Amino acid sequence: QANDAPQRTTTKTHCPYCSLQCGILLTAGGRPATLEPDPDFPTNRGGLCSKGWTAHELLDHPERLLTPLVRAVPGDRTSPLVPATWDEALDRVLAAITATQARHGRDAVGVFGGGGLTNEKAYALGKFARVALRTSAIDYNGRFCMSSAAAAMNRVFGVDRGLPFPLTDLAEADAIMISGGNPAATMPPAMQHFDAARSRGASLVVIDPRRTPTAAAAAAQGVHLAPVPGTDLPLLLGMLHLAVREGLVDRPYIDARTTGFDAAATAAAQWWPERVERTTGVPEGDLRRAVKLLAAASPARGGGGAIMLSGRGAEQHANGTDTVLAQANLALALGLPGRPRSGFGTVTGQGNGQGGREHGLKADQLPGYRSITDPAARAHVAGVWGVDPDVLPGPGRSAYEMLDALGGGESGTEPGVRTLLLLASNPVVSAPDAERVRRRLAALDHLVVVDFFLSETASLADVVLPTAQWAEEAGTMTNVEGRVILRRRALTPPDGVRDDLELLNALAHRLDLPEGLDADTAFPTEPEAVFTELRRASAGGRADYSGITYDRLEAEQGVFWPCPQQDGGAGGGEQHPGTPRLFAESFPTHDGRAQCAVVKYTPRAERTSRGASEEYPYVLTTGRTMAQYQSGTQTRRVRQLVMTDPDARAEVHPDLARRHGVSDGDLVRLTTRRGSALFRARVTRDVVAGTVFVPFHWGGMSVANALTDTRLDPVSRMPEFKACAVRLERHDPD
Ligand code: SF4
């Protein structure tokens, strides 16, 4: 009997959730699987958060989809979803694609991806859209995550790698500032690096309208700045102005390593401290203290180093790009980027949000982080793909713009996507003005969703295709540091489930590919074969992976890009060590210097009507909780996580609660110009009076994004997720 028992083996792999990509040791072979944190992986060093600790529960979850689903009556979404064979389901997908493109043109079929997809899947999906479907309509939910940071980093530094230094550098800094981030709740294992710095006496500066656990740590040893949501930009401009006015800037560094600093500083000069305080609510004394702490830690003033980080709270605004630019200007003023134990970085959210934008999931980008409008980039990628550059479509619409035009838009007559293939995303919960997005999805001729649970979006689909999960697939991910890591396959997927690469291969077999392309060669099912091609496509691009191989990733704790193949492909050229730290000598810009940007504050967030009609008198902001992740498709199904975070709680200041007769635990209805949603109140002084905070992980009656604003950043096309005008009422159920 004992000999028949499946052998249990332990595989080194990585958490399926956030961009820390914590190392995990997964033991499987005869389910259920169990897991332990990897003590050696540098980002988590033996730590995991509650999401990571319970990630194995997703694998055998009773609600897992194990067969394709199709509508009982084709084309009738009021009919139930019923099980189907893969052939039946794929035939329906093919019929939808063919009919839509014949009637409305190639761009009427769209692809929407997710930041949780491996590099191989992101790359293959971008290629599938442009070569097999020949549509320009592709984007991904990373547009809602990192796009403002990416646009600003590219503009200033010539390259966008979340952290241009290893996370472990935090432990060596004398001061750390984070704007709009709360790693103590969202990435708890990362706090060991912050804590190591603090235990040496380092200061923490946190910019956040809420007193989060991270902000509380700053208040105890540093300073917590709590601006009104939507005013991070004037706050940062005010910090730059103070640094200049008080003579705290690093003039030799500015002269040697930047372009355009004086114009940027002049533009910031109108943000004197009293004005900043009036606009943001941050006391002048706190502002001064924050600037002095950072300057004192800077190498120019003999400090051990200062690191500045930006997170989604500062970036998910219609002026998010300008806000990141303003913070980058401040970091440059203090002479931080490229210096030891110093720098400026942006903290990616999703597990592979970074890789998604490097390998062509964005509407305007090709692999290697190349622009789709650059003729040389098009020629290079087309050459790797074996097609004429003219085959490649031009840029498509950004994520929200694509979603808003689904089915011909509100009028039903605009050009837009009519058949959508959606993977690893749940926009009914995660997109702004979510009810409008639900209407647009319902207006599609055909919706195909690939997922492993029946998410809110999948439940609207014509066809649902069940996919493999994290531990059942090999592939690479690029974490918050730009470290490319190998997710190893520990289990085979259950019967009835197919990996996304197998799905794309099967669809490619059914579609007319450009002349000379063979489905199995163009869309291989083995991740390593995809990665080998991805390396060639990325060679010479901003995110160069050409010197990285699976063998290296097996042997090393990841490799930081850029990692070019040093002999140009002649063989044996994989010895480039990778680049853990960027910018030590120069920046990859036209003149080798960082490009300071002139940034002006134009309020773009919806104004409250306080003092006017009182219709929407408060400011709403949104964010995350510790035990839930993104739209909650996965974490709302894990028992321990639900016990920790059972429902969506609106944080309401006691003054506001009193005014509306609300007690802790009462239901409150929040209403904005777009819609309303119900939340249970958490009465707390952790939010400033006049601001209401809600988490965005829930569906049903508590979809936070039913409330959020759709105005877009003019550069990044990031929606205004983080600030809008809201009304609050106590809700008494009948
Ligand atoms: Fe997973 Fe992120 Fe938690 Fe680490 S911090 S265990 S990567 S969710």
Rounded distance, CA 64 to CA 61, Å?
Answer: 5
Q: pLDDT of 155-187, one tens digit each?
A: 999 999 999 999 999 999 999 999 999 999 999
Is 46 contained in some domain?
A: yes
Handedness of CA 314, 319, 321, 326 (dihedral sign): negative
Confidence class for position 339, pLDDT limits 50, 70, 90: very high
440 and 520 both lie in a single domain: yes
Euclidean distance between the first and the last CA atom of the chain, given in angstroms as a whole number: 60
Q: How do 109-113 and 419-423 pair as beta strands?
A: parallel
Angle at 157 between CA 154 and CA 158, to 5 degrees: 50
Please indicate whether residue 186, judged by its CB atom, sits closer than 6 Å to ligand 1: no
Q: Are 519 and 346 in contact (CB under 8 A)?
A: no
Rounded distance, CA 205 to CA 640, Å?
Answer: 32
DSSP 8-state symbol, 322 = H
Q: pLDDT of 6-39, one tens digit each?
A: 788 999 999 999 999 999 999 988 768 999 999 9
Mean pLDDT of 66-90: 97
Q: Are 101 and 108 in contact (CB under 8 A)?
A: yes
165 and 240 both lie in a single domain: yes
322 and 371 both lie in a single domain: no
The neighbouring-strand residues paired with 113 are 140
405 and 487 both lie in a single domain: yes
371 and 470 both lie in a single domain: yes
| Share above pLDDT 90 across residues of the chain, in percent, rounded to a whole number | 90
pLDDT of residue 572 exceeding 60, the answer is no
Confidence class for position 609, pLDDT limits 50, 70, 90: low
Q: Are 197 and 173 in contact (CB under 8 A)?
A: yes
Confidence class for position 676, pLDDT limits 50, 70, 90: very high
Residue 512 belongs to domain with CATH number:
3.40.50.740
CA of 21 relative to ligand 1 center, distance in Å:
6
505 and 491 both lie in a single domain: yes
Confidence class for position 350, pLDDT limits 50, 70, 90: confident
Is 533 contained in some domain?
A: yes
Rounded distance, CA 226 to CA 548, Å?
Answer: 43
* Domain end among 527, 542, 560: 560
Residue 694 belongs to domain with CATH number:
2.40.40.20
Please report, as a single letter, which amino acid is at residue 128. F
By most ligand atoms within 8 Å of CB, the mutation choice from 13, 36, 45, 49 for ligand 1 is 49
389 and 289 both lie in a single domain: no
pLDDT of residue 571 exceeding 60, the answer is no
Residue 37 belongs to domain with CATH number:
3.30.200.210
pLDDT of residue 613 exceeding 60, the answer is no
Q: Are 187 and 18 in contact (CB under 8 A)?
A: yes
By most ligand atoms within 8 Å of CB, the mutation choice from 26, 45, 51, 487 for ligand 1 is 51
* Domain end among 347, 373, 402: 347
Quote ipTM for the complex.
Answer: 0.99
Is 170 contained in some domain?
A: yes
223 and 358 both lie in a single domain: no
The neighbouring-strand residues paired with 449 are 422, 464
366 and 331 both lie in a single domain: no
Kindly list the distances between the CA atom of residue 184 and the CA atoms of 123, 198, 203, 490, in Å, as whole numbers in the listed order. 32, 14, 16, 30
Q: pLDDT of 405-461, one tens digit each?
A: 999 988 888 889 999 999 999 999 999 999 999 999 999 999 999 999 999 999 999
Token pair 């690939």: residue: 450
- Residue 724, classed as helix, strand or coil, is strand
Is 327 contained in some domain?
A: yes
Please indicate whether residue 565, judged by its CB atom, sits closer than 6 Å to ligand 1: no
Domain that holds residue 364: 70-144+352-560
Handedness of CA 389, 395, 396, 398 (dihedral sign): positive
DSSP 8-state symbol, 685 = T
Q: Are 310 and 324 in contact (CB under 8 A)?
A: yes
Is 178 contained in some domain?
A: yes
Confidence class for position 123, pLDDT limits 50, 70, 90: very high
Cα Rg for the chain, rounded, in angstroms? 25
Is 129 contained in some domain?
A: yes
pLDDT of residue 612 exceeding 70, the answer is no
- Strand intervals (E) in 415-522: 419-423, 446-451, 463-466, 475-478, 483-487
15 and 130 both lie in a single domain: no
CA of 191 relative to ligand 1 center, distance in Å:
12
Please indicate whether residue 626, judged by its CB atom, sits closer than 6 Å to ligand 1: no
Please indicate whether residue 15, judged by its CB atom, sits closer than 6 Å to ligand 1: yes
Tell which residue, 313, 229, 319, 278, has the closest CA to residue 619: 229
137 and 161 both lie in a single domain: no
Confidence class for position 68, pLDDT limits 50, 70, 90: very high
Mean pLDDT of 79-92: 98
State the chain's mean pLDDT as an integer. Answer: 94
What are 556's two structure tokens? 């090393």
Kindly give the residue spans of alpha helices, DSSP state H, lying in 449-557: 500-510, 519-522, 527-538, 550-555
What is the pLDDT, as a whole number, of residue 1? 43
Number of domains in the chain: 4
pLDDT of residue 286 exceeding 50, the answer is yes
Residue 328 belongs to domain with CATH number:
3.40.228.10
Please indicate whether residue 428, judged by its CB atom, sits closer than 6 Å to ligand 1: no
The neighbouring-strand residues paired with 447 are 420
* Domain end among 560, 577, 593: 560
Confidence class for position 467, pLDDT limits 50, 70, 90: very high
Tell which residue, 138, 73, 78, has the closest CA to residue 363: 138
Please indicate whether residue 453, judged by its CB atom, sits closer than 6 Å to ligand 1: no
Please indicate whether residue 627, judged by its CB atom, sits closer than 6 Å to ligand 1: no
CB contact set of 533 (below 8 Å; sequence gap of 6+): 123, 384, 524
203 and 340 both lie in a single domain: yes
pLDDT of residue 621 exceeding 80, the answer is yes
pLDDT of residue 384 exceeding 60, the answer is yes
How far does Cα 212 stand from its chain's mean position? Answer: 20
Is 715 contained in some domain?
A: yes
Is 586 contained in some domain?
A: no
Confidence class for position 357, pLDDT limits 50, 70, 90: confident
What is the pLDDT, as a whole number, of residue 142? 85
What H or E segment, with its residue span, contains residue 225?
A: strand 222-225
